[in-house]
Amino acid sequence: MFFTIPTILTWTRIVAIPLLVGIFYIGLPLELQNTVATVMFVVFALTDWLDGFLARKLNQASSFGAFLDPVADKFLVCASLLVLVHLKRADVFVALIIIGREIAISALREWMAQIGASKSVAVHMLGKVKTTVQMIAIPFLLYDGVLFGAIDTGEWGTVLIWVSAILTVWSMIYYLRKALPEIRKRVVK
């Protein structure tokens, strides 16, 4: 199931990431860059929901799609964070926390799957809340303006990205604690 509709949507997210980054290098006026990048990010983020919905609805769920979907999400978030750090809209420490956690938990999940204990690090509500906060913070920071004459997206995005970083650490601790019994079995002998 390499080329199902849901998988093509996921591939589209990966292929489109250079476009999102490139928006800031083609010489458009800053306000237009911000708007286009924000719209692109929101559309890409919505395809994450859509590909999962279609995979279930069309009965096209696959192990390849289940692998590729979180990879596409992590690429999108990491690329966006790097752009935001470059634009000085996000602190490098926040980016390191979020990207480092993604690498660590991905490696943990891979290892747990290899030893047959992937259920101990299955996605938890805390991870979903962390992702939701990130997916709100990032477009706010990309837009970096005032919405509806009242919402300073730069300020709100900064607060939300820090909340996301805190949730990132909290969820990493949660997953590590869930995996600890298996780690002790394998490492401490």
How confident is the model over 141-163, as pLDDT tens digits? 999 999 999 999 999 999 999 99
> How far is the C-alpha of 181 from the C-alpha of 159, rounded, in Å?
35
Residue in this structure with the two tokens 């601790």, named with its chain if needed: 173
Q: Quick check: 98 and 164 in contact, CB under 8 A?
A: yes
105-123 mean pLDDT: 77
pLDDT band at 17 (very low <50, low <70, confident <90, very high): very high
Q: What's the pLDDT score for residue 109?
A: 82
7-26 mean pLDDT: 91
pLDDT band at 185 (very low <50, low <70, confident <90, very high): confident
**What's this model's pTM, rounded to 2 decimal places?**
0.88
pLDDT band at 125 (very low <50, low <70, confident <90, very high): confident
| CA dihedral sign of residues 95, 101, 104, 105 | negative
pLDDT band at 78 (very low <50, low <70, confident <90, very high): very high
Ordered DSSP codes for 142-170: HH-SEETTTEEHHHHHHHHHHHHHHHHHH
Lowest mean pLDDT among 76-85, 98-107, 119-128, 138-147: 119-128
> How far is the C-alpha of 134 from the C-alpha of 75, rounded, in Å?
13
Spacing of C-alpha 101 from chain mean position? 11
180-186 mean pLDDT: 79
**Position with higher pLDDT, 115 vs 137:** 137
Q: What is the DSSP letter of 71?
A: H
Residues 6+ apart with CB under 8 A from 81: 90, 94, 95, 98, 99, 138
**Position with higher pLDDT, 71 vs 120:** 71
97-116 mean pLDDT: 86
- pLDDT digit string, tens, across residues 25-43: 998 999 999 999 999 999 9
Tell me: pLDDT of 83 over 90: yes
Q: What's the pLDDT score for residue 177?
A: 86
